[in-house]
Structure 1
Amino acid sequence: MTLTRTELARYVDHTLLKPEATAEQVAELVAEGADLGVFSVCVSPSMLPLDVPEGMAIATVCGFPSGKHHSAIKAAEAARSILDGADEIDMVIDIAAANAGEFAVVEADIAAVRAAVPEGKILKVIIESAALSDAAITGACLAAEAAGADFVKTSTGFHPAGGASKHAIELMAKAVGGRLGIKASGGVRTADDALEMINAGATRLGLSGTRAVLDGLDGTGGAHIVNPGAAGY
């Protein structure tokens, strides 16, 4: 199939998570997201509530970016964000627990946040894939599924190990087998990057430079993808 600019935009969580971000910059993010036709905007929880156009979802983060928060604190943060209007919560796992093979700990952490995120709201689980072994990527994805998550997500975009990769997306897709969505985030800066992630199995993209990615699709007549996911899954 051929993916158009409009269709690619519907994969995108248009993101601004810089700690120095201002209310004015967040308002600009929302306006740009509306102009581009993105699925959602993703901002820090302290920037909520937001006034967004009809049809645009609001995402925020939890336990971000380290994941080294008590589960009860992550759950409380998620619950507050839901009260402040968030539709989707992107939480960070305890990365060390995953790499140590302590997947019961990872699952319990995710389950605590899931209990604070009601039915009808989306929970995405950031596993920080570049910092994990292949076995830990698979185990973390299975723990997320067991805990009731809706998505697994590659990266915060803040870890020195790096962001999304084709290899990680393929491992994640194999682990969840279409039962969960997969979000590629961190280092996806071009249309080619975005298409590579979608071809590997991503069903959502976390982008801070969305306009540049979409502009990169222009002039190509659209781009062919071989493994289309359900945008907005």
Structure 2
Amino acid sequence: MMSGTGTFDITKLPAYIDHTLLKADATAEAIGKLCDEAKQYGFYSVCVNGMWVPAASKALAGSGVRVSAVVGFPLGAGLTGVKAYEAARAAEHGAADIDMVMAVGALLAGDEDYVREDIRAVVEAVRGQAIVKVILETGYLNEDQKRTACRLAEEAGAHFVKTSTGFGPGGATVEDVALMRAAVSPNVQVKASGGVRDLAAALSMIRAGATRLGTSSGVVIMNGAAGSSGY
């Protein structure tokens, strides 16, 4: 293991990665390539918009790579019932992970009940079918608001809290990952997403407490791992 990777077993790195393509101009060809790369490297999942869930599920069948679908993406400002419906349909078509965007405006306004019930509706819509990650969009929040968001996500039954969409202000930081890890119980995991583009960034997020990494740079990260550790 190269200097700087600490005690982390770098051969486990692929299982941390949600290989991500969420751009509006994504094509079927690009989604197919994403799935091929995920199978090649053994990534945990591919993360895609809802319209691509059926194709990704078909492409990944039998591979062990899961499908993550975003919900209420990227603003989090849709109606709760629509978010729940979107999540349920994604799970129906093969998504095993749902990455939903929190109602950021409601949190900023102090409406904790709305935020909690918005998350709970999605959790209940896919119970027994998929896990739910709640995207806080940390770039809009101060530290107290981040802690509150984490608490509400856990109270609503979410399985993960996640930093960012990658489409809002800022992205994942070591400080935010550490704050979020401290703000939830061991029953809830942390996903770092937004700006995780190389091996050094990936390892720093893991050291801070992330157990999942959302990135469109999974291949770059693995090439860095291969060059540094013989992986």
Report if TM-score (shorter chain) is over 0.5: yes
- Which of 85, 107, 120 is the matching residue for 1:76? 85
Provide the alpha-carbon RMSD of the alignment. 1.4
User: Whose RCO is larger (CA < 8 A, sep 6+)?
Assistant: 1
Shift of 1:219: 3.4
- Equivalent residue of 1:10, what SS? helix
- Equivalent residue of 1:41, what SS? strand
Distance in 1, matches of 2:122 and 2:175, equals: 28
Please give the per-residue CA displacement for 1:59-99, whole angstroms capped at 9, x wherever unaligned: 10000000010100100100111111111100001112222
Please give the per-residue CA displacement for 1:31-76, whole angstroms capped at 9, x wherever unaligned: 0111111010111101121220421111100000000101001001
The aligned residue for residue 52 of structure 2 is: 47
- Which of 19, 26, 38 is the matching residue for 2:24? 19
The aligned residue for residue 144 of structure 2 is: 135
**Where does 1:177-188 land on structure 2 (aligned, <5 Å)?**
177-188=185-196
Q: Structure 2 regions of 5+ residues with no counterpart? A: 1-6
Mapped contact 1:101–1:139 kept (Cα < 8 A): no
Mapped contact 1:2–1:222 kept (Cα < 8 A): no
Q: How many residue pairs align between the two structures?
A: 221
The aligned residue for residue 209 of structure 1 is: 217
Higher share of residues assigned helix: 2
Give the TM-score normalised by the residue count of structure 1: 0.91
Distance in 1, matches of 2:8 and 2:209, equals: 16
Mapped contact 1:3–1:222 kept (Cα < 8 A): no
Mapped contact 2:91–2:129 kept (Cα < 8 A): no
The aligned residue for residue 75 of structure 2 is: 66
Distance in 1, matches of 2:157 and 2:130, equals: 12
Q: Structure 1 regions of 5+ residues with no counterpart? A: 224-233
Mapped contact 2:181–2:190 kept (Cα < 8 A): yes
Give the TM-score normalised by the residue count of structure 2: 0.92
Distance in 2, matches of 1:3 and 1:215, equals: 16
The aligned residue for residue 3 of structure 1 is: 9
